[in-house]
Amino acid sequence: MKFAVFGGTQGVGLEFVKQALDLDPKPSVRLLARTPSKVPAELRENANAAFTTVVEGDIRNQEAVDRVVEGTNVVILSLGNTKSPQNPDAMRPVDTCSVGTPVVLNAMKKHNVQKLICVTSAGVGDSWADVPWWIKPVIWYFIGAALKDKDIQEQQIKDSGIPFVIVRPGGLQNAPKTGVYRVAEHIAELGRVARADVADLCVKLATDEAEWANWVGKTPTQIA
Ligand SMILES: NC(=O)c1ccc[n+]([C@@H]2O[C@H](COP(=O)([O-])OP(=O)(O)OC[C@H]3O[C@@H](n4cnc5c(N)ncnc54)[C@H](OP(=O)(O)O)[C@@H]3O)[C@@H](O)[C@H]2O)c1
């Protein structure tokens, strides 16, 4: 297996890379990083070195994104609106997902990659209806712009014709993998989930054909 990972320098994306490199047989993992030194050394050294390729670049750069996607079979997209390392004093962007996703989709079409696993968020798209009414104003106040960015991202993926699963996690926690979580098309409650468990689901979707067949074309919510 050959995985292309976007958003693999931290959070869910980094957890995915770590768990993928623990698989037997080890897949090859190629990831895009604006700051390659952020990718932990143990993922680039020793036994992992032969399996890990870090391509330096920004999601907005088609040439760099093409280099990550070319020759892979599965793309993992776990982008967030983190600050630019080149411009740390600027405000956080609000359009990383909607600007970056078409670049990734172009590369997938060019290189005929037919499996996309994208991490967005509970509350995006039709899952907004599952958010309890009393908390909606608070959520919208704090992360409305991010949800809008991901709404556009999800529509871009659905319109692309590329087979996809969009995972919509609840509030993310830095906690060990439990392997115990709920995944359903609609979960009408607030919930949290470990980043490592979101990565666990992504690994299963990437490697287990039955899991993929169960969710392809769908947008499941995931909470603990
Ligand atoms: N926080 C929550 O509670 C929550 C809840 C539900 C869903 N989510 C969503 O779940 C996903 C994963 O979240 P997370 O907190 O684990 O990860 P995150 O901290 O949001 O990481 C975002 C990743 O995107 C990369 N990235 C951002 N802009 C980029 C660019 N221009 N070019 C290349 N890479 C870029 C970052 O790389 P750099 O290292 O270069 O910044 C980083 O690897 C995100 O979509 C997030 O919005 C979050």
Q: What is the pLDDT of residue 57?
A: 97
- Please tell me the distance between residue 11's alpha carbon and the centre of ligand 1 in angstroms: 7
DSSP string, the chain: -EEEEESTTSHHHHHHHHHHHTSSSPPEEEEEESSGGGS-GGGTSHHHHTTEEEEE--TT-HHHHHHHHTT-SEEEE----PPPTT-TTSPPPS-HHHHHHHHHHHHHHHTT---EEEE--TTSGGGGGGS-GGGHHHHHHHHHHHHHHHHHHHHHHHHH---EEEEEESEEE-----S--EEES---S--EEEHHHHHHHHHHHHH-HHHHHHHTT---EEE-
Q: Which tens digits make up the pLDDT trace of 120-141?
A: 999 999 999 999 999 999 999 9
Pocket test residue of 12, 54, 118 for ligand 1, highest count of atoms within 8 A of CB: 12
Tell me the residue range of the domain where 214 lies. 2-223
Tell me if 220 CB under 6 Å of ligand 1. Answer: no
Which residue has its alpha carbon closest to ligand 1 atom 8? 121
Tell me if 71 CB under 6 Å of ligand 1. Answer: no
Q: What is the pLDDT of residue 163?
A: 98
- The CATH number given to whatever domain includes residue 160 is 3.40.50.720
Domain count for the chain: 1
**pTM for this structure?**
0.98
Q: Which tens digits make up the pLDDT trace of 177-211?
A: 999 999 999 999 999 999 999 999 999 999 999 99
Residue 62's pLDDT band (cuts 50, 70, 90): very high
- Please tell me the distance between residue 131's alpha carbon and the centre of ligand 1 in angstroms: 22
